[in-house]
Structure 1
Amino acid sequence: MNSQTLRVIFIEVGLMALKLSACKDVSLSKAKIFEISWWNLLNIHIGEFT
């Protein structure tokens, strides 16, 4: 596993968490979309490792 890629993942996840906490009054459906896109992002990166 590339440490550079790992760092990118943590940065992206961190940014997404920040966005999510910034809009706490966000609707459940929007939160779900965020969750799904986060998982897609993670799966794409995991796919690069394998």
Structure 2
Amino acid sequence: MEYQEYISLLEAFQLSLTAENDPEVNKIVEQINETIAHLKTGKYHAMALT
């Protein structure tokens, strides 16, 4: 899978979670945002994604 595909999947997952008004879910959304940002900047290119 290419990184853009990972980003697209994460963005779709993020959108599905944003409807929740749960503090724990909001933490997950924040982590997804950070991961997407790192993927876009290339920070995780040397790491294996699972």
TM-score (norm 2): 0.42
TM-score (norm 1): 0.42
